[in-house]
Amino acid sequence: AARPAGAGSLLGKTVTVTAGGTREPLDPVRFLGNRSSGKQGAALARAALDAGAHVRFIAAHMDIPAPDGVELTRVETALELRDAVHRAAPGSDVLIMAAAVADFRPDTNSDTKIKKRDDGTDPVITLVRNPDILAEAVQRRTEAAAGGGAARPVLIVGFAAETGDGSADVLDYGRQKLVRKGCDLLVLNRVGTSLVFGQDTTEVTLLSPQDSESVPAPTYAGTKMEIAHRIVARVAQELDAAVV
């Protein structure tokens, strides 16, 4: 049952959630994919439904079924996901980009199955960069507002899975990504403390552009469902604060 309107509620709000991993075709039977299970995105959709939102769920490949009760759009490739996001986002209060979007796609998609050749040469796959859908959504909002339109979605949430290395720690990489994308909230998965892909438990830090150096960013460990409720609670709080 939906929560009553008030703190933590998303009643009357439309939330677009992307989930799963995109697949980039090479030929009719092959693709380049990734290990995203879609579990975090599905949990976020469930948590948003629990809070009373109307949920537009844009699903790339998932290992689990899409949750019941969402407005479902299925996509395969990053370019299809991009179209679906840009159709859904301007009419949404919140955009949550939990999908694992392929950074690259093969420059050609053969109409026929790629066969082994007799001349001793093997095919070389050239990759081209996919658009950054999250950064585009932020840019489109800015342009709409500059043109006198509504600055929607009010809240744009990105995800990142990072490991630290010799030159910077996980938080530094997360903050850099937040700035680069221009989103309002970044859910930083700390890879290494627990494996993220396909696992049911994880640890995240919520980063926002307003973070001050002196206050540590909130970090939560738990199941993907528990974390989804934390993220949705934060989203509802930010929406409340954004209303004038």
Query: Which residues contribute to the site for ligand CTP (CB under 6 A)?
Result: 78, 97, 99, 101, 103, 130, 132-134, 158-160
Minimum CB distance to ligand CTP smaller for 29 or for 127: 127
Minimum CB distance to ligand CTP smaller for 44 or for 97: 97
Q: Residue 160 binds which one of Ca ion, ligand CTP, none, with CB within 5 to 8 A depending on kind?
A: ligand CTP
Q: Residue 99 binds which one of ligand CTP, Ca ion, none, with CB within 5 to 8 A depending on kind?
A: ligand CTP
Cα distances (angstroms) measured from residue 124 to each of 31, 110, 116, 233? 14, 13, 12, 47
Minimum CB distance to Ca ion smaller for 8 or for 21: 21
Minimum CB distance to Ca ion smaller for 14 or for 22: 22
Minimum distance of Ca ion from residue 20's CB (angstroms): 14
Q: Parallel, antiparallel, or unpaired for β 155-162 and 54-59?
A: unpaired
Rule CB under 5 A: is residue 129 a binding residue for Ca ion?
A: no
Please tell me whether residue 39 adopts helix, strand or coil conformation: helix
Phi/psi-derived region of residue 145, left when phi > 0, alpha when psi is between -120 and 50, beta in every other case: alpha
Residue 191 φ then ψ, to 5°:
-75, 140
| Token pair 């579990």 in the structure block, residue | 39
Catalytic site positions: 34
Minimum distance of Ca ion from residue 141's CB (angstroms): 21
From candidates 71, 103, 169, 240, binder to Ca ion by CB under 5 A: 103
| Token pair 């990053």 in the structure block, residue | 78
Minimum distance of ligand CTP from residue 51's CB (angstroms): 20
Which residues are annotated binding-site positions for CTP? 103, 113, 131-134, 159, 177, 181
Minimum distance of Ca ion from residue 117's CB (angstroms): 32
Which residues are annotated binding-site positions? 103, 113, 131-134, 159, 177, 181
Q: How far is the C-alpha of 47 from the C-alpha of 228, rounded, in Å?
A: 6
Q: Parallel, antiparallel, or unpaired for β 201-207 and 185-190?
A: antiparallel
| Stretch touching Ca ion by CB under 5 A, among 67-75, 102-110, 142-150, 226-234 | 102-110
- Beta-carbon contacts of 229 under 8 Å, excluding residues fewer than 6 positions away, are 47, 50
Minimum CB distance to ligand CTP smaller for 70 or for 97: 97
Q: Residue 57 binds which one of Ca ion, ligand CTP, none, with CB within 5 to 8 A depending on kind?
A: none
Contact in structure between 54 and 15 (CB atoms under 8 Å):
yes
Q: How far is the C-alpha of 50 from the C-alpha of 232, rounded, in Å?
A: 10
Q: How far is the C-alpha of 109 from the C-alpha of 103, rounded, in Å?
A: 16
Residues that bind Ca ion (CB under 5 A): 103
